Amino acid sequence: MKKIIFVLGASGSGKTTTVEYIESENPDKYFFAYFDQPKVPSEEEIEKQYGNWENWGIQRTNEWLDKIKNKNKDRVTIFDIQTKPENIENACKKFEITDYAIIILDCSNEERKKRLIERGQPNLINDSLFDWAQFLRDEACKNDYIIIDNTELIKKKGFKKVKEVLKTIM
């Protein structure tokens, strides 16, 4: 099995935009996975089926890694994911996946607010979002994950920076 590159970040960090751009440029070079596809369940569905968001994230991560391990053996996977890094680590152990890297995309809270307003999702702006972004920053530092602050990067430069990092970890 080829390497899996997990691209994490709090809402507004640019992870999905970046992964979609890389996919548009290289549709056959990598296998692309999007954690939120086909859709994110409603709050009520999460509570009824999983008990809470944490359990949903763990189960979704496991489902995706099982699918990737069984379907993709010949290409590097770039995975746009929204879960705790610990869930990724545990799922990789469970499925005996050893060749992977975690990249965290980040931006300032002010830039995050601006991006979420521009994309019509101001409802996502709250203290929980900023706490999540800080949690990911802290995890990156504690675990030596790659973190890319794209606050000041325009899209093209941000995409270029991620592609440069991808080259170094493959």
pLDDT in tens, the chain (170 residues): 689 999 999 999 989 988 998 999 888 899 999 998 878 888 888 888 888 888 988 999 999 999 998 887 788 999 999 999 999 999 999 999 999 999 999 999 999 999 999 999 999 999 999 999 999 999 999 998 999 998 886 666 666 777 777 777 76
Neighbours of 54 (CB within 10 A): 13
How much is the pLDDT for 160?
A: 73
CA 90/CA 142 separation, integer angstroms: 16
Q: Where are the domains of the chain?
A: 4-169
Whether the predicted model's global pTM rises above the 0.85 cut: yes
Nearest to 100 by CA among 45, 33, 22: 33
Residues in CB range of 63: below 8 A, 6 or more apart:
none
**Res 89: pLDDT:** 96
pLDDT at 157: 67
At what angle are helices 43-50 and 53-71 packed, to 10 degrees?
A: 80
Q: What is the pLDDT of residue 168?
A: 75
Would you say 64 and 35 are in contact if contact means Cβ atoms under 8 Å apart? Answer: yes
Torsion of CA 94, 96, 99, 103, to 10 degrees: -10
CA 71 – CA 51 distance, rounded (Å): 29
Cβ atoms within 10 Å, residue 130 = 14
Q: Tell me which fold the domain 4-169 belongs to.
A: Rossmann fold (3.40.50)
